[in-house]
Structures are given as C-alpha cells and as structure tokens.
Amino acid sequence: KTEAAPGVKLEILLYQDKVKSKYHWTGEAVFDAETITYKYKVVMQSGEVKVEDFARKCRIYPKKGDSAIFLATDLDGTLLGDDDQIKNFFTVWNDEYRKRGSCLLYNTGRPFHSALDLITRDVLQAPTALICSEGTEIFWFDGENHTAVPDAEWRKKLNERWNWPKLKDAVNQTLRPLRSNITKFLPLADDNGQPMFVLAANSRNVSEKIL
C-alpha cells in the first residue's frame, strides 16, 4: 500500500550456515508511505554483537492485477547463489508473470558463452533478452527453441570505426613479452565479429602490467 502501514514488519537476521558456507539475513523492517527502515544484527566470530539501523527512501506500489511487467536482474550474487530460491523464483515467474506477457532481462558482466551455459544447463530459464560482456553485447531469445540472436543495431553501433586487424595486432604486440603468463586469450571478433578480447593471466601483477 502507498499509505502508511504501521505494524507491517519483516524480520531479517544474518547467520552463517556452516554446512553450505552461506550467510543468511534476518532483521526488522517497518514500511510506510515514503521510507523503509530496517536494522540488522550481526554476531561476529569473536562473539561481539553489532546492531545497525538504516532508513532508505522508497515507494511501495500496489499490485496491478494482470498487468505485464519488465524485470531486469543481475546474475552473480543476485539471481544466482541459492538453487532452491532460483527454483522458487521461476515457479512464481512462470505461474504469475510469464503468462501475462512479462519480459525478463539478464544483465551480467559475464561473456555470452558463460551466461548461455547457465541456460543450456537449465540453471536458469531463457530470458527475453540478455545483456552481457559488460554491456557490449545484447541478445534476444527465441522463446520456442532458446536461440539467441544478437541485436544487430547495438552491434553495428559498437563496431563503428573499429579497425579489427590493427587492433588485434596492437594487442598481440602488447602481450608478446607476457605471453607465458597469459592463460587465456580469446579474440572474440574471430568468432562473432565483436571487437573484444577475453584475457586471463596467472597473477594480479601480470594483469596490472597488461592494463
């Protein structure tokens, strides 16, 4: 509700599940028309207890019948992280929102093939669209067979004025003295036309030298 709703509280605590090595939150939140206030309690390994209060501006909207929605979400540390909750999310999404024509967007820094692997292994359902590779690639998904189609307009915009052969040669020259320390070197334009590289080094010092 958008009007004040005193007494609507949410318990939130933080504790560690030592079996699954995960942290869980519980605490307390009070909703009103303009802000959400909450506090959390943390018990440190030393036994010290910390309690902090927060207040954030917000607006709480009523549920709108059968309207379609547009939902955009990050993957790592947001949608991913708890297999049971992922299943719960998609149960609600399919039962309540997908059938209304709602759109689901994944927005991740992962490269395309890494994000696609989560879908092909059924960790995640295919979205309406995927933004990946730190925002440099956009793909639209065919709902029937999960085929990913690159957004031609976005790709054309990013590819303007790039001279891929010269760029690739310059990067190769930069990396040549450090080649023995490079564990992965993928010039993506060779596969999909994007003027991008995926690099991995065997130490942070090497990564800093490359940059």
Residue ranges covered by each domain of the chain = 9-57, 70-157, 162-210
Domain 70-157 has CATH 3.40.50.1000: yes
Structure confidence by residue, pLDDT tens digits, 45-79: 666 777 766 666 555 555 566 788 899 999 988 88
Cα separation values, 5 from 35, 37, 61, Å: 11, 12, 12
End-to-end, the C-alpha distance of the chain in Å comes to 50
* Beta strands at 148-150 and 22-31: parallel, antiparallel or unpaired: unpaired
And the tokens for 82? 């708890």
Note the pLDDT of residue 43.
61
More confident residue, 201 or 9: 201
Nearest to 104 by CA among 78, 123, 131: 131
Residue 178 has pLDDT above 60, yes or no: yes
Note the pLDDT of residue 80.
87
Residue 199 has pLDDT above 60, yes or no: yes
Q: pTM (2 decimals)?
A: 0.59
